[in-house]
Amino acid sequence: MLPQPRYSIGGLQPLPVIDISAYELYRLFPQDYVMVLIPIGLGEFSKDDVERVFAPLESFMDQMLDRGIHAIMQNGVPLPLLIGLDGHDRLIAKMQDYTGRPAATTVNAVAKAARHLGLKKVACVNKWSAAMNHTLGQFLAREGVSVCGMATKEIAPADFQKIKADDHSQLAYELGKRAFHENPDCDGLYIGGGSWFVANVAQQLEQEFRKPVISNQPAIVWDVMHKLGDWKPMPQHGILMGSA
């Protein structure tokens, strides 16, 4: 028998269809967490499209507040990368001020997780442009983490959603192995992108290379649970989730 929900977490999801990210989030959050997920329909990696999808932000937050959320998360790293650090900081401030709830973003969670694990140099794996990865480096640098190398394959959101789950898991694994081999001095790896099935890939790479591998869903779960004062290590889900 399932327990009654103890915490309700609002989530702004970047893409029109929510599948892989919801599957991973429900596997990682405790059983008594329920999610209120709203797709905002990002169509392309551009600043204009990010501004378009966030235009009804207050309406999204009203819907979440009607469902009694305890925290709110903006999922998806590309959106903050496209509007930059200042745009991101204004967004998270508005989310917190409007809802009166703690707010998390995936990119902040990833950077904070890297700092928490003591990583100074990380290699990055993703499907984003060089300009977006430059901004990613700025977010990591705010937490004292530098990017020492990249293994990327740029793919548009609409095209990536057409790829089968097994195929994009394999792509993440191959890029991850390449990043480790090309950057042997890295302290760990960050696999970016919440729309590919990657949490298991991250754990496989951790076992093979004996270094932390951060991915989006574990990072934001770790951050949200800390914000709620409800964190309990879950070592079955990898190095970050197993940390105190």
Domains and CATH numbers, the chain: 7-105+218-237 (3.40.50.12500), 108-215 (3.40.50.12500)
pLDDT digits (tens, 9 = 90+) for 30-63: 999 999 999 999 888 899 999 999 999 999 999 9
Is residue 158 a contact partner of residue 43, using CB atoms and an 8 Å limit? Answer: yes
Residues 6 or more apart whose CB falls under 8 angstroms from that of 50 comprise 42, 79, 82, 83
In tens, the pLDDT along 203-228 reads: 999 999 999 999 999 999 999 999 99
- Cα three-residue angle 117-13-67, rounded to 5 degrees: 105
Per the CB < 8 A criterion, the answer to whether 83 and 200 are in contact is no
Q: Full-prediction pTM beyond 0.85?
A: yes
Contact 92, 105 (CB under 8 A): yes
pLDDT for the residue numbered 166: 64
pLDDT score at 56? 96
Instruction: Kindly report, residue by residue over 98-108, the tens digit of the pLDDT.
Output: 999 999 999 99
pLDDT at residue 148, as a whole number? 97
Question: Mind listing the pLDDT tens digit for each residue in 120-164?
Answer: 999 999 988 899 999 999 999 999 999 999 999 877 666 656 666
Give the pLDDT score at 101.
98
